[in-house]
């Protein structure tokens, strides 16, 4: 197995998790996929690049190297469904548009998938566990920001055009309400972008599982509309001027999160 994640430890109690920018495929997955799947259209393209500035803020960052088509790090290990609407599971077998991901009879074996769980999913989640525990021990609390992006138009998953900034707090269960209010207010100041709290994207497994405000661990997901920083058609290029404008908003969101923690906990 090749390198499965990239982790950089920071100096403030904020971890930015990026579970879906990876493009690595295993031989079994690549051999069985349909041609459309090989375009990796459902990748959270360029997310580590978009959040490069977070190092200046002192945040820890964690990014996956393997594609979500191999195993989805934002799904629980038991693959229990998180949504009643259309979605994909721990081991995706369809593309976001509902089309099959694999040619008939060529999905990876159960043994292959068990290896992905042990060697890709588990190290990523253990890194989250360890880093949140370290932050809480040092600061008394921890902040988790789960960073995602998706094409703005996917009729199979949602109606119409997706808002630009989609905050998710598991319907208020994954963080203190006042933190969500601070982030919504920050989005509201970004006049060029639409936003919503707990709309179509309320937070996946990472937000739901690790967000435990009663234990002083506060988790928020942000699902970005990709049109805000890139072209949504192959080869999915990064658009620097759009990205720079969006990065100013993302910086404000992360700073608002850190300021909230300092005010709430005094450090």
Handedness of CA 30, 226, 72, 65 (dihedral sign): positive
What is the mean pLDDT of the segment spanning 245-256? 98
Least confident of 83-97, 184-198, 220-234: 83-97
The model's pLDDT over 129-157, given as tens digits with 9 standing for 90+, comes to 999 999 999 999 999 999 999 999 998 88
Nearest to 7 by CA among 129, 92, 101, 182: 129
Of 80, 50, 76, nearest to 63 by C-alpha is 50
Mean pLDDT of the chain: 95
pLDDT tens track for 68-106? 999 999 999 997 876 655 567 899 999 999 999 999 999
pLDDT in tens, 22-69: 999 999 999 999 999 999 999 999 999 999 999 999 999 999 999 999
Confidence check: pLDDT of 1 > 80 = no
The model carries a pTM of: 0.95
- Gap between the Cα atoms of 173 and 250, Å rounded: 22
- Give 220's strand partners: 145
Task: Report residue 210's pLDDT band, with 50, 70 and 90 as the boundaries.
Answer: very high
Contacts of 129 (CB under 8 A, 6+ apart): none
Q: How many angstroms separate the CA atoms of 230 and 226, rounded? A: 6
Q: Please tell me the predicted confidence (pLDDT) of residue 158.
A: 87
**Token code pair at residue 156:** 């199979």
- Percent of the chain at pLDDT > 90 equals 91
Mean pLDDT of 3-26: 98
Per-residue confidence (pLDDT) for residue 84, from 0 to 100: 54
CA distance 144 to 12: 11
Cα distance between residue 29 and residue 218, in whole Å: 35
| 97-135 tens-digit pLDDT | 999 999 999 999 999 999 999 999 999 999 999 999 999
């Amino acid at each position: 197995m090749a390198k499965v994640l990239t982790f950089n430890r920071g100096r403030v109690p904020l971890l930015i998790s990026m579970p879906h920018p990876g493009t690595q495929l295993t031989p079994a997955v690549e051999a069985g996929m349909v041609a459309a799947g090989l375009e990796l259209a459902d990748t959270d393209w360029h997310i580590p690049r978009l959040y490069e500035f977070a190092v200046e803020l002192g945040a820890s960052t964690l990014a996956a190297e393997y594609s979500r088509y191999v195993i989805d790090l934002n799904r629980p290990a038991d693959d229990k469904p998180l949504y009643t609407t259309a979605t994909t599971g721990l081991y995706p077998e369809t593309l976001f548009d509902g089309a099959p991901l694999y040619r008939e009879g060529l999905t990876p074996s159960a043994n292959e998938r068990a290896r992905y769980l042990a060697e890709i999913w588990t190290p990523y989640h253990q890194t989250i566990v360890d880093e949140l525990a370290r932050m809480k021990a040092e600061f008394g609390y921890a902040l988790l920001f789960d960073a995602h992006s998706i094409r703005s138009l996917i009729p199979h998953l949602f109606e119409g055009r997706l808002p630009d900034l989609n905050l998710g707090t598991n319907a208020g269960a994954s963080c203190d309400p006042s933190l969500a209010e601070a982030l919504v207010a920050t989005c509201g100041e970004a006049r060029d972008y639409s936003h919503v709290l707990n709309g179509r994207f309320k937070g996946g497994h990472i937000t739901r599982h690790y967000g435990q405000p009663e234990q002083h661990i506060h988790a928020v997901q942000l699902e970005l509309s990709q049109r805000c920083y890139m072209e949504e058609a192959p080869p999915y290029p990064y658009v620097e001027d759009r990205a720079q404008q969006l990065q100013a908003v993302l910086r404000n969101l992360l700073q608002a999160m850190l300021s909230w923690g300092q005010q709430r906990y005094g450090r």
